[in-house]
Amino acid sequence: MFGKFFSKKSTANSPMSGLTTTKKMQVITETLTDYRSENFPQGIFAVSSHFHINAIEQDKDITVELIMPFPCQGELEDIAASLAETLKQAVEFCVQLNVKAVRAFSLSGCQNNIKNIIAVASGKGGVGKSTTTVNLAYALIAEGAKVGILDADIYGPSIPTLLGLKNAKPNSADGKLLIPLTAHGLSAMSIGFLVDANDATVWRGPMASGAFNQLLTETAWPELDYLLIDMPPGTGDIQLTLAQKVPVAAAVIITTPQDMALIDAAKGIAMFDKVKVPVLGIIENMSYHLCEKCGHKSHIFGEAGGLQMAQSKQTQLLGQLPLNMSIRQDADFGQSDIIENSTGDIAQLYRRIARNIVGQLFLQLDNASPLTPIVEITD
């Protein structure tokens, strides 16, 4: 369903205008040059390594080919829709992803097929971290990326339930490496696949850390652009050990607007600062409740707490997610609205946040980023 190549057509109902082929190509080029957003602060061409417009014919779609360093399908769809309206002709973006590792690393005991590892953490439990992680993974797949998820919550693994894989067990082709389970194109590994759901995992810190390390290094991961790690809640010894031992490229913090959650979220940021893992930003979950009848927004857990936290910690607010019954119901039944309706309102929220995460990962940490300072040595 989702591949390395993806495209989206946007059509205009109006008849063909009098614009010449040369003028249309000029409009497209100028639009991509002048376009600005958080993920494209210097325009599309500043990050694209290939650009080509196929021959523009009156009875055919205009096809724009791009090679991009991070998934951005949804944002390009919006640009295509705007161009189609301006040019009075259907516009199609054909995008090839060329995701690179922003941090060089090697994982002993497994094939090095993982390009970027992103930790998703929270200072406390109950803020919807695991549900958000799973939906972000599906959102990245919808944007065209190859994604895996690793459940680091050894004591309370919830990924099997969230993926609808409660009773599934992984196999091994060689008796050494486990084959990750898959759900809708998402590769996953969790201690929950190996331990009975009704058994309590009673391990001290070093044992839990060792078990997690084995899950990471002794899994036959396929080629992945991003591996999301669903971190256990808290900022104790286990979290510090995992952050130090795992070659995490960057981290994302999940919180609610509630003061108690924000206090613990600040501790999570401090923990990653201590182990020199960059924090890309904060996602504010359960930000508001939207009334289904009148559309009124109720800020049940407080308002703008995530934004204030991001500003105080000099990081970004990557997005805000509503307190929504369908998200909770999907989580209970191992489903996701992103799979069923990737263009729905909830799915679009997750996809926008997912684009912000990988966009900022590239912009802040990749040497190919247009924001990377150029150091010149003069005599």
pLDDT per position as a tens digit, 281-333: 999 998 878 777 777 778 777 777 788 888 888 899 999 999 888 888 888 88
pLDDT above 90 (res 159): yes
pLDDT tens digits for 80-106?
Answer: 999 999 988 899 999 999 999 998 777
**CB crowding 82-95: b at 16 or more within 10 Å, else e:** ebbebbebbbbbeb
Please tell me the predicted confidence (pLDDT) of residue 1: 40
Q: Using the 8-state DSSP alphabet, how is residue 179 labeled?
A: P
Distances (CA, A) of 123 to 83, 157, 252, 257: 43, 17, 11, 13
Q: In what order do the strands lie in the sheet with 279-284?
A: 181-183, 186-189, 147-151, 224-230, 114-121, 250-255, 279-284, 316-320
Band of pLDDT at residue 206, cut at 50, 70 and 90: low
pLDDT above 90 (res 280): yes
Please tell me the predicted confidence (pLDDT) of residue 16: 42
Please tell me the predicted confidence (pLDDT) of residue 31: 95
What CA–CA distance (Å, rounded) separates 116 from 109? 17
Q: What is the mean pLDDT of residues 37-56?
A: 91
pTM of the model as a whole: 0.90
Rg (CA), the chain: 22
Please tell me the predicted confidence (pLDDT) of residue 224: 96
| CA-wise closest residue to 208 among 159, 254, 156 | 156
Burial class (CB in 10 A: 0-12, 13-18, 19+), 243: buried
Amino acid at 74: G
Strands (E) in 159-240, as ranges, are 181-183, 186-189, 224-230
pLDDT tens digits for 161-197?
Answer: 999 998 889 998 888 899 999 999 999 999 888 877 6
Backbone dihedral angles phi then psi of residue 116, each to the nearest 5 degrees: -140, 130
Please tell me the predicted confidence (pLDDT) of residue 14: 44
Domain ranges of the chain: 5-97, 114-365
Please tell me the predicted confidence (pLDDT) of residue 156: 78
Q: Assign 186 to helix, strand or coil.
A: strand
Q: In what order do the strands lie in the sheet with 62-68?
A: 5-10, 91-97, 62-68, 50-53
Percent of the chain with pLDDT strictly greater than 70:
87
Please tell me the predicted confidence (pLDDT) of residue 58: 64
Q: What is the mean pLDDT of residues 267-278?
A: 89
Band of pLDDT at residue 151, cut at 50, 70 and 90: very high
Question: β-strands 186-189, 147-151: how paired?
Answer: parallel
Q: Assign 306 to helix, strand or coil.
A: helix
What CA–CA distance (Å, rounded) separates 68 from 9? 18
Band of pLDDT at residue 15, cut at 50, 70 and 90: very low
Please tell me the predicted confidence (pLDDT) of residue 167: 85
Please tell me the predicted confidence (pLDDT) of residue 12: 45
| CA-wise closest residue to 318 among 363, 266, 269, 254 | 254
Six token digits for residue 165: 């894989």
Are 157 and 148 in contact by the 8 Å Cβ rule? The answer is no
Amino acid at 147: V
pLDDT, mean over the chain: 85
> Domain 114-365 is in which class?
alpha beta
For residues 107 and 79, which has the higher predicted lDDT (pLDDT)?
A: 79
Distances (CA, A) of 189 to 153, 204, 248, 344: 11, 21, 17, 28
What CA–CA distance (Å, rounded) separates 97 from 355? 13
Name, in order, each residue with C-beta under 8 angstroms of 300's C-beta and a sequence gap of 6 or more.
Answer: 286, 288, 289, 323
pLDDT above 50 (res 243): yes
Band of pLDDT at residue 5, cut at 50, 70 and 90: very low
What CA–CA distance (Å, rounded) separates 313 from 182? 36
- The distance of Cα 377 from the centroid of its chain, to the nearest Å, equals 37
